[in-house]
């Protein structure tokens, strides 16, 4: 597998405040990568910077070996880097089908668009049942399904999801992540997911990064991260014998990774 997304020394500022500094991250073709961290760690800033919503102050974002940092958000989307934003930002007075078609507004391949729409309805049967209903009348879980389906209609090469479990029950969270994994395996679409539910994210992803105060403080395979004492104590509510460096170490209350 080759590298699809390569982030190099990325920095983003809000006025005089550094929201993200020195971030290096990679996603390979067909890979699922997760970014974990508490509120305020810089996770949403990272995705918004990648999607072109925010311009970076410093650093590079290479997508398919081409620079995309500084491009407008619509151009980033056209290149296949597609964001599912936090908070299920739907068009409440449009129908479910119209919301899905909004994801395909840049496309001209009508027959393929219909095939992709049929695939979305296969993944999310509840959207098929409610396709003529106003999107604002859907439940929270159904709206999350809708925004994922809408993003897929944009033909993503890399699907970025910002807190897909936000506000959902454990059962719906499990269903959403199962479908995300299904999309990945059935279509070869790479996935970058920002999530606070560390247990389910680590269970589905291949590789993980942990952000604190705008910086990457740990990175490893998800199986390795889930066994490290600092990660288990901070995010999984448990304990383990191996620290981030492979030694007997623990998460410090001052939040310093060792």
List pLDDT tens digits, range 178-198. Answer: 999 999 999 999 999 999 889
Is residue 234 situated within a structural domain?
A: no
Read off the pTM. Answer: 0.88
Is residue 236 situated within a structural domain?
A: no
| pLDDT score, position 87 | 79
| pLDDT score, position 238 | 59
Is residue 231 situated within a structural domain?
A: no
Is residue 209 situated within a structural domain?
A: yes
Task: Name the pLDDT band for 15 (thresholds 50, 70, 90).
Answer: confident
Is residue 184 situated within a structural domain?
A: yes
Share of the chain above pLDDT 70, in %: 91
CATH number of the domain at 103, please: 3.40.50.300
User: Could you give the angle at which helices 140-152 and 110-123 cross, rounded to 10 degrees?
Assistant: 150
Q: Is 2 exposed, middle or buried (0-12, 13-18, 19+ CB in 10 A)?
A: exposed
Own/partner contacts of 128-135, CB < 8 Å, gap of 24 or more, are 130/96, 131/95, 131/96, 131/97, 132/95, 132/96, 132/97, 133/95, 133/96, 134/92, 134/93, 134/94, 134/95, 135/90, 135/91, 135/92, 135/93, 135/94, 135/95, 135/96, 135/98, 135/99
Q: 128-148: string of b/e by CB count within 10 Å (b at 16+)?
A: eebbeebbeebeebbbbbbbb
Domain extent, residue 107, equals: 3-226
Is residue 69 situated within a structural domain?
A: yes
Q: What is the pLDDT of residues 227-246, one digit of tens each?
A: 888 888 888 775 544 434 34
Is residue 257 situated within a structural domain?
A: no
Is residue 58 situated within a structural domain?
A: yes
Q: What is the mean pLDDT of residues 74-100?
A: 92
Number of domains in the chain: 1
- Could you give the CA distance from residue 182 to residue 186 in angstroms, rounded to a whole number? 6
Q: What is the pLDDT of residues 196-219, one digit of tens each?
A: 889 999 999 999 999 999 999 999
């Amino acid at each position: 597998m080759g590298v699809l997304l390569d982030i190099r020394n990325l920095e983003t500022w809000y006025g005089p405040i550094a929201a993200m500094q020195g971030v290096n991250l990679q996603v390979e073709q067909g890979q699922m990568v997760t970014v974990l961290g508490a509120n305020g760690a810089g996770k949403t800033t990272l995705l918004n910077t990648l999607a072109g919503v925010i311009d970076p102050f410093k650093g590079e974002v290479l997508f398919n070996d081409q620079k995309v940092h500084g491009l407008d958000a619509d151009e980033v989307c056209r290149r296949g880097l597609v964001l599912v934003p936090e908070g299920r930002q739907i068009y409440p007075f449009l129908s479910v089908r119209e919301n899905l078609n909004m994801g395909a507004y840049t496309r001209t391949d009508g027959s393929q668009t219909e095939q992709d729409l049929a695939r979305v309805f296969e993944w999310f049967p509840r959207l098929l049942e409610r396709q003529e209903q106003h999107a604002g009348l859907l439940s929270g879980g159904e709206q999350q399904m809708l925004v994922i389906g809408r993003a897929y209609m944009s033909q993503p090469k890399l699907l970025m999801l910002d807190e897909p479990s936000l506000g959902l029950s454990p059962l719906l969270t499990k269903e959403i992540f199962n479908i995300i994994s299904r999309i990945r395996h059935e279509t070869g679409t790479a996935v970058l997911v920002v999530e606070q539910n560390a247990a389910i994210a680590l269970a589905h992803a291949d590789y993980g990064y942990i952000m604190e105060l705008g910086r990457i403080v740990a990175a490893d395979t998800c199986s390795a991260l889930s066994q490290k004492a600092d990660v288990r104590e901070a995010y999984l509510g448990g304990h383990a014998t191996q620290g981030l460096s492979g030694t007997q170490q623990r998460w410090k209350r001052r939040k310093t990774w060792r």
